[in-house]
Chain A
Amino acid sequence: MIVATAAALLAAMTLVMCRALMGPTAYDRVLALNNIGTKTVVLIAVLGFLNGRPEFLDLALVYALINFIGTIAVLKYIEYGDLGAGSPPEGRG
């Protein structure tokens, strides 16, 4: 059953990757990438159980953190054009 879940995860990741490649707007791509990241977290956990190495769960935890931070960073870059290191805030209005 764990193998079937891993296969379903891979199939779902393939479908969402199609959306990330097709996506008409950048927001579709960001949403699809965030979704793929979540599926990757679950896939790492499932593979850890499949190989009998539950230490993989630590990697999954770190991957969940990095995925969230990365999504927020990419969204901020798309919305404002930089990550806040450039001009002061009053220069944008």
Chain B
Amino acid sequence: MQTLVDALSGALLAGGAFFLLAGALGMVRLPDVFTRMHAGGMTDTMGAGMVLAGLAVHSLASEHWGVTARLVLILGFLWFTSPIATHAVAKAALSGGVRPFTLDGNGDDARAMAGGEGPAGSATAAKGGASS
């Protein structure tokens, strides 16, 4: 039983460590802020999720129900707030004038889709312009 618990939590912790390191490498290597969000989101979802799940296996095996409940709370909170924060960063970066990295060198289509330019998105453009 103890061997099974150790193996399961070890596998989860190792997988989480792999995702954490891969996400951190992506944060350093990827070309612009929008692609870096992708790496950061992977860290939050899989990295933190698998590490906290590995800890939860330990606390479940030793029947500390309160500890397991706190781990699930932390995990649920991270999984709710991380996409919200990433979305807020993306919205602020677009309305703040950051051009998405594309292979042909301009991000006009992505900005138009997000309402950052053109007559359809004039409200967002006005808000972005007020800060500059």
Interface of A toward B, CB cutoff 8 Å: 1-2, 4-5, 8-9, 11-13, 15-16, 18-19, 25, 27-28, 30-32, 34-35, 38-39, 41-42, 45-46, 49, 54, 57-58, 60-61, 64-65, 67-68, 71-72, 75, 78-81, 92-93
Contacts and interface: CB of A to CB of B under 8 A. Distances in A.
B74 A15 contact: no
A8 B73 CA distance: 23
A39 B20 contact: yes
Interface of B: 6, 9-10, 13-14, 16-17, 20-21, 23-25, 27-28, 33, 36-37, 40, 43-44, 47-48, 51-52, 54-55, 58-59, 64, 67, 70-71, 73-74, 77-78, 81-82, 84-86, 88-89, 92-93, 95-96, 98, 126-128, 130-131
Contacts of B10: 1
A78 B92 contact: yes
A38 B44 contact: yes
